[in-house]
Amino acid sequence: MGILTRFKDIMASNLNALLDKAEDPEKMIDQYLRNLTSDLGKVKSETASIMAEEQRAKRTLDECKSDSDKMQKYAIKALEAGNDDDARKFLEKKASLVAKEAELQEAYNLASSNSIQMKKMHDKLVSDIGELESRKAMIKGKMAVAKTQERINKIGSSITGANHSISAFGRMEEKVNRALDEANAMAMLNTDPKDDIKDLTAKYDNNTEVDDELAALKEKLKNKE
C-alpha cells in the first residue's frame, strides 16, 4: 500500500495551504494532478492484481469444496456397494480436503478483504481526482480574476499619478496667470498719468490760429470795399 503514500498525504493536507507556498499556483495544481493521475494508474494495476488474487483464492476454495463433496458421494456409493474399505478411503480424503478448505477459506477471506479495501481506495482516488479537477478550474478562474484585478490596480495607480500631474499642471497654470496679472498691474502703475487738459488746450490753440487768419482775411476784404 506504499504506493498510496503521496495520495494520502495530499488528501490529508489542505491543498490551498500547499498552493500558498508555490511560486506559480497554476503550475503546482497541474503538477499535483499529474502526480495523482500517475498514482491512479499504479493503483489500478495493483487493484486489478489484488482482485485477481481474490478470484484465484475463491476458485481454489470452490474446487476444494467440490472435491470434498465428491469424496462424500464416492463414500456413499462405496458403502452402497458394500466396500467399506473404499468408503473409508474416500472419507479420509474428504477429511484432508475439509482441513485444507479451512485454510483456503481463511486465505480467501483475507484476499477478499484486501480487494474490498483496495477497490475503495481506488474509487476514492478517482473521486478525489475528479473533485480536484473541478477545483482546479475554480482556482484557475480565481487566479485569472486576481491577475485581472492586479492589472486594474496597476492602471489605477498610473491614473492616480496622471491625476497628480494634471493637478500640478493646473497649479502651474494658475501660477503663470497670477504672474501675468501682476506684470500687467505693474505696467499700468509704471505708465505716466494722461494729461487731458494739455490735449484740450492744444485743440483750441490750433483753432485760434485759424480764427486769426480768418479775421485777417475778412479785414482785408473790408478795406477793398
Q: Give the Cα separation of 210 and 208 in Å (integer).
A: 5
What percentage of the chain exceeds 70 in pLDDT?
A: 71
Global confidence as pTM: 0.50
What is residue 1's predicted lDDT score, i.e. its pLDDT?
Answer: 46
Same domain, 77 and 34: yes
All three cell numbers of 119: 477497490
Q: What is the CATH number of the domain that holds 100?
A: 1.10.287
Whether the predicted pLDDT of 89 surpasses 80: yes
Average pLDDT of the residues in 12-37: 67
Which of residues 80 and 182 earns the better pLDDT score? 80
Summarised one tens digit per residue, pLDDT across range 39-72 is 888 888 888 999 999 999 999 999 999 999 999 9
Q: Which domain holds residue 217?
A: 196-225
In a domain, 174, yes or no: no
What is residue 34's predicted lDDT score, i.e. its pLDDT?
Answer: 82
Q: Give the Cα separation of 90 and 73 in Å (integer).
A: 9
What is residue 139's predicted lDDT score, i.e. its pLDDT?
Answer: 74
Q: Give the Cα separation of 161 and 181 in Å (integer).
A: 30
In a domain, 189, yes or no: no
DSSP state of 59: H
Q: How many structural domains does the chain have?
A: 2
What is residue 164's predicted lDDT score, i.e. its pLDDT?
Answer: 66
Same domain, 208 and 153: no
Summarised one tens digit per residue, pLDDT across range 200-224 is 566 655 555 666 777 777 777 777 6
All three cell numbers of 82: 458394500
Q: Give the Cα separation of 40 and 222 in Å (integer).
A: 144
What percentage of the chain exceeds 90 in pLDDT?
A: 29
Same domain, 212 and 136: no
Nearest of 41, 30, 51 to residue 140 by alpha carbon? 30
Give the distance from CA 51 to its chain's centroid.
39
CB atoms within 10 A of CB 43: 21
Q: Is 71 exposed, middle or buried (CB count within 10 Å of its CB: 0-12, 13-18, 19+)?
A: buried
Q: Are 67 and 27 in contact (CB under 8 A)?
A: no
Residue labelled with grid coordinates 479420509: 92
What is residue 125's predicted lDDT score, i.e. its pLDDT?
Answer: 85
Average pLDDT of the residues in 150-166: 68
In a domain, 120, yes or no: yes
